Amino acid sequence: MAMAMALRKLSSSVKSPIRPLFNGGSLYYMASLPNEAVYDKERNRATWPKQLNAPLEVVDPEIADIIELEKARQWKGLELIPSENFTSVSVMQAVGSVMTNKYSEGYPGARYYGGNEFIDMAESLCQKRALEAFRLDPAKWGVNVQSLSGSPANFQVYTALLKPHERIMALDLPHGGHLSHGYQTDTKKISAVSIFFETMPYRLDESTGYIDYDQLEKSATLFRPKLIVAGASAYARLYDYARIRKVCDKQKAVLLADMAHISGLVAAGVIPSPFEYADVVTTTTHKSLRGPRGAMIFFRKGVKEINKQGKEFLLKVLYDYEDKVNQAVFPGLQGGPHNHTIAGLAVALKQATTPEYKAYQEQVLSNCSKFAQTLVKHGYELVSGGTENHLVLVNLKNKGISISTDDHCSQLLTERLLCFRNFFSGNFLTPLMASALCSGCNEFEATAIEFRLEKIFSDMTYYVIDVGSIHPFDGIYIVNRVSMNKGVITVSWNFLLQGIDGSRVEKVLEAVHIAANKNTVPGDVSAMVPGGIRMGTPALTSRGFVEEDFAKVADFFDAAVKLAMKIKAETKGTKLKDFLATMQSSAQFQSEIAKLCHEVQEYAKQFPTIGFEKETMKYQD
């Protein structure tokens, strides 16, 4: 009230009307006064309008500078995190609009605050566009667009449709699932979902990397869940929704499809839709959908089934999800919705119905296929062997390393009998015959390690050399054969390479401006030491990357992994902090990192920026 009175007094003291002030084509003060003296005159009462209408670089240069640094990072780096994307300028304009100012607890037409006529228009339009984007009949489907993000959206569904401690089945976290579907260890319930509900995981068939639907069905028969989640955070294959629907029908369970990662692909119609089979569908809005950071909950409504009552009467059974879901969102778990986000989401959903959007999603799939193929050519093992969507999951535990015969030369034995150059290629905990011919440091043979000895020892005693001192990479060496032929002693061994984990590789990737994220893979003992790296193609595809570009990105990734393995080999400790200390203290490694980083940045800078113009950037060098 005091502010309103001050503003009325302020405006009455101005002879000319309040007008915008432009400087160089930029709007500085949306409601600035033509006479700055007026501000001075009213300084003791109403000086804040000037500050409120000042631009960010004037009000808070520190935050403005951080934003400029982030712009430079996005321009010069390679964004491979599959849950990230670059949203459009129009979406950001809506999110940064005056829609952020309004409180609107409730739903369109039923608010607890006045002045929401235009908020109602925006939310209703967003709901309409959400149904259109996924080709849904509004008589059969409804949607709530107020959820703040994906994890709350899932929890809202659980609280809407389940009683406390009722049972949920979902994909296990180390096998590609998500925390919001429930997760617990032998000693602790990690996710709040597992605290308030009873959760049981289903898993992949580790021999194939695909979901084990047969075991899922057996587990469901014993566990009797009330809800089964079909959705993942790190699963590179398509869900068999029809198969899970059959399991749900047998158990009279709700089928919740969490399509957070793939909703953009579903909207474009380039992969199968879960809506034919699911009862409820949740999604975030900022991943492949390429909107603002938010979430949606879709729910069936209308006739669920028709039961026959006697000989003459048919009873229609209706879905009761709509009221339950809406009440779980508000007032159950949220207060006022983020109206600026809903406005931005409406824009993104309109974009999702365009031909350009479908072409983009087709390119996302094509890019990911090429990316996977190139990684396999580099010798990487992909969980499930490939991809059918927007992401790949690389199992680094099984990654071997090959060292050319020119990489290392070590003097062996005090008698200087030979120099050693070696070649290794191995799998984690898988015996491999690592071999090289050692004679004058310039010959190679892939059958056995052969040491050519001069006849110094009269009895030609066989010497078992500490082979661990030959190779700088961590591993277990088991000598399994020693023989001699014409003065040549042959020593063969199994080499068990210790491999590397996602945490260490992620640190090197970050150092060279490649954003990816560590992820658990099947067989991981602990989520604290994830054995894989998860990468996706949506963000870079938004910048215009095509297939040949992702082949190059795979080359960069391979170089970073090899560098990480070299750093690990030189690290004495076993902890991540020891790895980082070695990486940061070694002049050689810092030089290699700088070189690879420069190559990455120069490649990334060739492509357009999204959301800002390169010419307006503060940090272009």
Mark whether 284 is an active-site residue: yes
Query: In Å, how far are 236, 338, 382, 519 from 536, measured between CA atoms?
Result: 10, 28, 13, 13
Give the three-state DSSP class for 361: helix
Q: Which one is catalytic: 103, 210, 213, 477?
A: 103
In whole angstroms, give the CA distance from residue 508 to residue 501.
12
Angle among Cα 546, 551, 552 to the nearest 5 degrees reads: 100
Helices (H), 275-320: none
Q: Which one is catalytic: 226, 287, 397, 421?
A: 287
Residues 612 and 84 sit within 8 Å (Cβ to Cβ): no
Q: Which one is catalytic: 50, 243, 246, 293?
A: 293
Tell me the β-bridge partners of 571: none
Structure letter (DSSP) for residue 427:
B
Copy the structure tokens of residue 338.
């983020």
Q: Which one is catalytic: 42, 68, 105, 362?
A: 105
Instruction: Give me the torsion for CA of 103, 106, 110, 111, rounded to 10°.
Output: -20
Compute φ and ψ for 475, nearest 5 degrees: 180, 170
Copy the structure tokens of residue 609.
């920026």
Instruction: Give me the torsion for CA of 157, 161, 166, 169, rounded to 10°.
Output: -50
Mark whether 599 is an active-site residue: no
CB within 8 A of 618, min separation 6: which ones?
65, 68, 71, 72
Give the three-state DSSP class for 210: strand
Q: Which one is catalytic: 84, 123, 172, 258?
A: 258
Neighbours of 268 (CB within 10 A): 23
Copy the structure tokens of residue 580.
């980082």
In whole angstroms, give the CA distance from residue 316 to residue 308.
9
The two beta strands, 514-515 and 488-497, are: unpaired
Tell me the β-bridge partners of 295: 284
Mark whether 103 is an active-site residue: yes
Q: Please list the active-site residues.
A: 103, 105, 258, 284, 287, 293
